[in-house]
Structure 1
Amino acid sequence: MTAQELPNFHHLRAFSLTAHLRSVHGAARQAHLSQPAVTQAIGRLEKRFDCRFFERRSTGMYPTPLGEIMLLRVDRALDLLDGAARRIGESARRNARARPAPLDRMATTTQLRALIAISQTGSFSAAARAIDQAQPSVHRAGRDLEKLAGVPLFERISHGVALTPHGRLLAMRASLAFKEIEAAGEDLEAAKGVVRGRLIIGTLPLVRTELVPAALAGMTGAYPDAEISVIDGPYDGQLTALRTGEIDMLIGALREPAPADDVEERALFFDTLSVIARRGHPLAGRTTIGIDDLRRYGWVVPRASTPTREHFDALMRTGNEAPPPGLIVTSSLVVLRGLLLKSDRLAILSRRQVTYEERTGLLTALPVALNDPPRPIGLTLRRNWHPTRLQSAFIAALEDAVAREEQPI
């Protein structure tokens, strides 16, 4: 389901109220709508998703099995928006601003899409291009939403526009709410026997190379029509993408404790690090290697603040001298391998990341005791996340791939 096909949240709220109250009349009264408007909203949802969501009985409106699937996702989406609206409304009243409108009931899908696009692009013009709308329309949608909120959602900066904390909160919750409705479409198709879906996996640079391919190979046969993306990138950007719903899960070294209260970490296995060099490196034949030996050579290292870089910095601090000059910083495993193979540079890596090169004799682990505890590798997920069938299948395949893996070299 594309962003343009997302249903109106007013229709979703009418659907939810009808399901919980078992009554179109009760839903209309609580939503301040007419009964025909509620009936129309439900009809449009049923047409959009090609499902019958209610059984109309003499005693009321009862969700069908497909209706129950839809209700779970709709309620999760509405809870996300309601929570953001409550926090923003409390702030508006605390700051003695004009009484805010009921944001969760008044905000439109168009306004929320505009807000998300502005948060992702940093300007009204770029946001308009991203969602294929005219810039005045996006600007008006954003400003109308700000009026409803009763608090500033945007602030001008030197190179565009940024969201305020309230704007970021609403954009994040709206993005996750849209993801829930997209997931509803996948859940409904799966319940009808249609085997497809969409999965976006975030991986950290230098994550163990064989794990994700092995998991994908193990499950894609059952999902031949699934749309799967694997996105590699630095931790901070991937974490933000996870929290806003741009990716479904993040695979790599865990931070422990989890870096935010809305995500959780699940360890899959524990890994250790080694100093890696090319075959024939001057240090490769040594039985003992000291810190002074290591400082004589150049190094390839990941960027600052990553767990592996912290191991490198700790290793270099074991002596009194400064770290060696001329470091090459990269998050690309392809570049790192090439530098190791074509020079006397060294790197700290998991041996599992260079399994093929070590087995074929291209690279080797040096006998250097790093004295580091095993590091947890695993999944970072949104807290209270409810995966689709495809997402659950990939996690199961990932766990199977770990279980089947050979013992460390």
Structure 2
Amino acid sequence: MKLDQLQAVTAIVEQGSLRAAARRLGLPQPALTRSVRALERELGVELFLRQTTGMVLTEAGERFHRRASVIVHEARRAQEELALDAQQAKGSVSVALSIAAHVGMLPQALGPFRQRYPQVQLQITEGLLPDVEAGLRDGRIDFYLGAAPAQPPAGGLLMRHLADNRRAVMCRRGHPLAGATGLAELAGAEWATTAVDYNAEADLTRLFTQHGLPVPRVMLRARSAMTLIVALAHTDLLAMLPVQWGNYPVTRDALQVIPVAEALPAPPLVMIRRPDLPLTPAAECLADVLCRYLPAGG
């Protein structure tokens, strides 16, 4: 079994077809086919079902791919770390950030990181832990930094508390309710929620009921931060979001915070990664720079 055979398997899974995988690896398609078939003969199992729509893993292939992916990505890390030690700062860093980290930490961190590692490619995914956990476990993602999950991750992942966080009620500039100072004044409003913030809708409902107010009417559920920005900027919808949104330059001219007196807690910010996969110097640098811009008191 050779590393290039493991790379072939992971490329086929990620690309979905032999042709696309061969193109990504820079190999002729027949050579890639021969490599996979030789591996299947060595293992004594069929790894892929060859269908008209592409290549699909068998049950044995699923088990093999989980192991192969870890090996391939750890080999990449080792190569990059050696290159970095030799002052040949190339390679890549792959991280996942929640929206709070995106708007509150990434803007200030990008410049210093790029100055330190100008040749390192960054791969950044927006999401919460359930969206990226598989990538953390198989080594495709170096670390997650963002809102803590409702339950600690299962074994094999290390979670470290970084800072507490808060939410704010956001609306468009010039909104009729922009001057409200309490939740009671927002009882008749319509709301938007988003999957980029844990439990936002449930927490919003709980917050209103705790103060004896009717359950808020959620009229839009956005699957992305961009959808939410557009909806808030062009309607009278309100949203309860990580407080970092209120200071983000890109949205500051379009959105504003409604200064309600009630406390609006948010999940704390955490870092999650595999403890058995050491971060490369570049990934460690990015983590350190991001953490310089944690919320005050973190």
TM-score, shorter chain, exceeding 0.5: yes
**Cα separation, 2, equivalents of 1:201 and 1:142:** 30
* Partner deviation per Cα, 1:269-304 (whole Å, 9 max, x = no partner): 11122322234433333343339x44x433222139
CA contact (8 A) 1:317 1:323 kept: no
Equivalence for 2:63: 169
Equivalence for 1:283: 177
Instruction: Tell which has more relative contact order, 1 or 2 (C-alpha 8 A, sep 6+).
Output: 2
**Structure 2 counterpart of 1:130, one-letter code:** R
Equivalence for 2:242: 350
State the percentage of identical aligned residues. 27
1:203 aligns with 2:97: yes
Q: Give, in angstroms, the shift of residue 345 of structure 1.
A: 0.7
SS at 1:238's partner residue? helix
Higher strand share: 2
CA contact (8 A) 2:100 2:147 kept: no
**Structure 2 counterpart of 1:364, one-letter code:** V
CA contact (8 A) 2:104 2:293 kept: no
Aligned match for 2:17, one of 123, 127, 136: 123
Structure 1 gaps of 5+ residues are 1-106
TM-score, structure 2 normalization: 0.80
Equivalence for 2:125: 231
User: What is the count of residue pairs matched by the alignment?
Assistant: 296
* Higher CA-based Rg: 1
Structure 2 gaps of 5+ residues are none
Equivalence for 1:213: 107
Equivalence for 1:261: 155
Q: Give, in angstroms, the shift of residue 237 of structure 1.
A: 4.1
1:299 aligns with 2:197: no
Aligned match for 1:364, one of 257, 260, 265: 257
1:270 aligns with 2:196: no
**Cα separation, 2, equivalents of 1:359 and 1:126:** 42
Distance 1:160-1:185 versus aligned 2 partners, 3 A rule: closer
Equivalence for 1:327: 220
SS at 1:221's partner residue? helix
CA contact (8 A) 2:184 2:213 kept: no
Q: Give, in angstroms, the shift of residue 337 of structure 1.
A: 3.0
**Cα separation, 2, equivalents of 1:344 and 1:305:** 20
CA contact (8 A) 1:278 1:340 kept: yes
Equivalence for 1:308: 200
Equivalence for 1:86: none
Q: Give, in angstroms, the shift of residue 377 of structure 1.
A: 1.1
1:382 aligns with 2:274: yes
CA contact (8 A) 1:277 1:366 kept: no
Distance 1:369-1:176 versus aligned 2 partners, 3 A rule: same
CA contact (8 A) 1:297 1:324 kept: yes
Q: Give, in angstroms, the shift of residue 356 of structure 1.
A: 4.2
**Structure 1 counterpart of 2:157, one-letter code:** V
Q: Give, in angstroms, the shift of residue 117 of structure 1.
A: 1.7
**Structure 1 counterpart of 2:268, one-letter code:** P
Higher helix share: 1
